[in-house]
Amino acid sequence: MPERFVYLYLACILAGFAMIYVPTSVVISAPIATFFGIVGGIVIIVFSLALLHLGLRALFKDHFK
């Protein structure tokens, strides 16, 4: 059942990269862009760990039964 969320996790990782590379403009100032960079980095780490957990669980599923 959690395998159906893999594409969602990948989309979240891509969104994290998009948040890191937000350019500054009139609407988005430098402090806001810095905040987006920090949040984007956290999003990338969290969802990468979630994908790693799903992969390891699928790999060792038969081993621990």
| Domain of residue 8, residue span | 2-59
- In a domain, residue 65? The reply is no
Number of structural domains the chain divides into: 1
Q: Which of 24-33, 35-44, 52-61 holds the top average pLDDT?
A: 35-44
Terminal Cα distance for the chain, rounded: 18
- In a domain, residue 48? The reply is yes
Q: What is the mean pLDDT of residues 29-40?
A: 94
pTM listed for this prediction: 0.84
- In a domain, residue 41? The reply is yes
CB 59 within 8 A of CB 65: no
Q: What is the mean pLDDT of residues 21-25?
A: 90
